[in-house]
Structure 1
Amino acid sequence: MTGAEPGVEARRLAGALLEGALSGRDGLAAVQAGKGFSALPSPDRAFARACAMGALRRLGEIDLALDSRLKTAPPQQVRTLLRIALAQRWVLDVPAFAAVSSAVKLAEREAKTRPYKALVNAVLRGLERDPAPPAPPQANLPDWIAARWTQSWGPETAAAIAAAVRQEPPTDLSLKPGQDAEALARALEGEVLPGGSVRTRLRGDLTGWPGYADGGWWVQDAAAAVPVRALDPRPGEAVLDLCAAPGGKTLQLAAAGAAVVALDRNAARLRRLQENLTRTGLTAEVVAADAERWDDPRTFDAVLLDAPCTATGTLRRHPEVLHAVRPGDVADLADVQHRLLDAAADRVRPGGRLVYAVCSLEREEGEGQIPAFLRRRPDFRLAAIDPAAVGAPETAAGPQGLRLHPGQWPDRGGLDGFFLARLDRTA
């Protein structure tokens, strides 16, 4: 398909992306890797992904609006057509005639959906004439997550986090030392954030942005840059980055002049890390191994553990995670984190330091890990972290470490959710 207006096939694949995202944690990636998606022209791929992500960001609102017009539940394929059409209208501002007519054409294509083409037309046109009433931000969260966050963080913070789901986040860049952050921010029509990250709302091919070809920066959410600043790596220090891929924190550590070992069990993800090291001209020893079973006697001045987690804090960039995670995942991953923390602690030299971090909004994965670790390891103590010194909001300070969440910095475009704590080993 060619032309300025994405065609019916792009919209069909938008529905496939949405259904893939709702089917499980790897469903979205599987559809994107498929031949049908890769065969689309680049603008159509971008449109299809934007439709699917828009539907995920406002799924609860969309379903409430549809349910106000549907007397009985239609087949799932029909609901997908309707969801994608409303995402086009509400998120992408596609003209009503284009969103409605393409949805009807898609309904006509399949035997299972053909009997519902009149319903598709009627529901969408009805919502154009008589829009559904506004829904609260929490409507876009699965019920169990909304209840959990309200209990954990209170109604006001939970609502602020939920509101962040609806907004496509800006792009944050971490810079190598010696780069002019102010000049880059001006070139990208952005701003320099506390801590030194550059934030821009520009879209498009990043490889054409100033400094990319020279390796002067890499993409990294401002919140994800905070744990390395809390670790405070120094030139010449031996530093271990556990669970390192895709590598933004490894690049930070190497840029600080540390002698870095970047370890991850996923060899495919490590290839991306190595590509970024090459592009930026930075160096690190890259190791494919399981952090708990790594057969190497070395200890380190500093260890960073960005542990596997539910990743609920990444909802701004990955709204699909809200529909992939299950209640039982929290306890399962908390047990993994417990074991990884113990393995990381054994790698810290006396007098050294450990930073534990997760991009999760669940207390069991963050704040709850620290008191239990300190009981197991009395040779460590919790160190205070000044939020301002590491480029975090002042409201992030807590008794167990720093808690960043997507409702912070709303006037600047928000942050990913992170918990981090610094644990110093006694000399």
Structure 2
Amino acid sequence: MSTNLQRICLSIIERIYNCKFLNEIMENNSSYLNLSNRDKSLVNMTILTFLRRNGEVELIIKKFLKKPLKNKHNVVMNILRLATTQIVYLNIANYSVVNGFVNLVKKVRPGYESLVNGILRNICRSRPNFTETTQTIKNLPNWIRLGWEKSLSPTIVKDISKSLINIPKTDINIKKKVIFEKNWEEELGGKFIFDNVLRLNKTKQIKNLIGYNDGDWWVQNAAASIPVKVIEKFFLKKNDVSVLEVGSSPGGKTMQLIDAGFNVTALEKSETRFAKLEENLRRVNYTCSLVKMDLENFKLKNNFDCCLLDISCSASGIVARKPEILLFNKSVKQLIMDQENILNKASKLIKKNGIIVYCVCSLIYEEGENQIKIFLNKNKKFKKIGLEKYFSKKFDFHFKNGDIMTLPINYKDMGGLDGFFISCLQKYE
């Protein structure tokens, strides 16, 4: 890896430590964008591997760093992090890694060449010890690990941590009307995981796949499709059922609802995300009532049969897909307050015998299980609908107190699921 590529990796890592999302960084980094596809892949692999292994990388460095570096020397630590990742976890020649990063530190922090050189050479010599033992639980920050352990056992959390070092799979949700028109497993190169959700065998250029230009399908993780499946199973007749979807972009669940025949109103407050929702619906040739507004300001003449709440959350359930979250020192207090407010607002928009389907892509207790407990204690006109009865044993989900938790270790042989919490609440006044 050239010093130029190492410098690009360094600039990306520095921005992630300032709580910027990786895709946003990549899209605005001209040096990265001007690289060849091969070099982009190498940068991506280095960054993503470090993020997924961040805790293990820190442990390795600490074995050879006698005194912690002060904050003003973060750039040196970041160089050690990237170099350690390449030496221990990627198949890159050790001499190339060491020489390149020593030259880089000479340019950006003169005087630290000997320290970096010595630590990296020690890591090279000890590499077999690190590759034979893994401590993946160390890759989880405390706010995620402790939040998960309130809902799941420490053993399950440890198993999840092992799965998060793997590259997540891509799933395709195929329209009902075309599901039998082609042998989709053969055409797309994948296998159905359940219903009309197909998992691709390997990463591919999505826009080049059969059916993309015809709008026959959309990309959506299997776990993200389950909230709409709950709605489908609750309402046997779809045509007259009105559904308000809150937090609709990028549109996977919106497309599912339209595909199932529901009368959909999609609410999205972000202008950028609203534009993305419109674009995605156009591609699959689907329409519904689109409203660019937050729920707080939303006014309506008639209440809905169903409200699907896909609420902003910590995203702890999708760290395999967005591993930069593992470096964020998040406080979920404000998120929890916002979630509670949205749930309470939605409760006033539901008809008698209607339902709220609440989902978050997080496995943290306070964002899921406890949020529902608080709501039911305050809203006596609602009851929880147990979801086990809607899904046969062929569905590999984690059920708890009538709710669904999809875990990265569900469907393990097929590559796991994103982490979601899903609950269904019925108004029975």
CA contact (8 A) 1:352 1:425 kept: yes
| Residue number in structure 1 paired with 2:95 | 97
Shift of residue 418 of structure 1?
Answer: 0.8
CA contact (8 A) 1:387 1:397 kept: no
For residues 211-252 of structure 1, what are the alpha-carbon distances to aligned partners after superposition, in whole Å with 9 as ceiling and x for unaligned? Answer: 211111111111111111111162343211101112111111
CA contact (8 A) 1:387 1:393 kept: no
Tell which deviates more after alignment, 15-24 or 95-104: 95-104
In structure 1, C-alpha distance between the alignment counterparts of 2:252 and 2:8, rounded to whole Å? 31
In structure 1, C-alpha distance between the alignment counterparts of 2:9 and 2:280, rounded to whole Å? 30
| Residue number in structure 2 paired with 1:167 | 166
| Residue number in structure 2 paired with 1:197 | 197
Equivalent residue letter for 1:367: E
Q: Partner of 2:163: helix, strand, or coil? A: helix
| Residue number in structure 2 paired with 1:352 | 354
Cα separation, partners in 2 of 1:91 and 1:265, compared to 1, 3 Å: farther
In structure 2, C-alpha distance between the alignment counterparts of 1:90 and 1:413, rounded to whole Å? 24
CA contact (8 A) 1:387 1:402 kept: no
Q: Partner of 1:244: helix, strand, or coil? A: coil
| Residue number in structure 2 paired with 1:245 | 249
Cα separation, partners in 2 of 1:150 and 1:349, compared to 1, 3 Å: closer
| Structure 2 gaps, min length 5 | none
| Residue number in structure 2 paired with 1:229 | 229
| Structure 1 gaps, min length 5 | 1-5
Shift of residue 35 of structure 1?
Answer: 3.2
Q: How does 1:243-282 map to 2 (within 5 A)?
A: 243-282=247-286
Shift of residue 366 of structure 1?
Answer: 0.5
For residues 299-325 of structure 1, what are the alpha-carbon distances to aligned partners after superposition, in whole Å with 9 as ceiling and x for unaligned? Answer: 222210011111101111011112224
Q: TM-score, normalised by structure 1?
A: 0.90
**Shift >6 Å, 4+ stretches:** none
Shift of residue 167 of structure 1?
Answer: 1.1
In structure 2, C-alpha distance between the alignment counterparts of 1:212 and 1:322, rounded to whole Å? 33
In structure 1, C-alpha distance between the alignment counterparts of 2:416 and 2:38, rounded to whole Å? 27
Count of paired positions: 418
Q: TM-score, normalised by structure 2?
A: 0.90
Shift of residue 89 of structure 1?
Answer: 3.8
Q: Partner of 1:308: helix, strand, or coil? A: coil
CA contact (8 A) 2:396 2:411 kept: no
Cα separation, partners in 2 of 1:391 and 1:172, compared to 1, 3 Å: farther
CA contact (8 A) 1:167 1:316 kept: yes
In structure 1, C-alpha distance between the alignment counterparts of 2:59 and 2:116, rounded to whole Å? 16
In structure 2, C-alpha distance between the alignment counterparts of 1:347 and 1:391, rounded to whole Å? 34
Shift of residue 395 of structure 1?
Answer: 4.7
Pairing 1:70–2:65 present: yes
Q: Partner of 2:177: helix, strand, or coil? A: coil
Cα separation, partners in 2 of 1:188 and 1:100, compared to 1, 3 Å: farther
Identical columns (%): 30
Cα separation, partners in 2 of 1:279 and 1:305, compared to 1, 3 Å: same
Cα separation, partners in 2 of 1:404 and 1:129, compared to 1, 3 Å: same
Q: Partner of 2:280: helix, strand, or coil? A: helix
Q: Partner of 1:260: helix, strand, or coil? A: strand
Shift of residue 288 of structure 1?
Answer: 1.0
Q: How does 1:308-327 map to 2 (within 5 A)?
A: 308-326=312-330
Equivalent residue letter for 2:260: A
Pairing 1:52–2:47 present: yes
Pairing 1:88–2:86 present: yes
CA contact (8 A) 1:392 1:404 kept: no
Equivalent residue letter for 1:108: K
Q: Partner of 1:292: helix, strand, or coil? A: helix
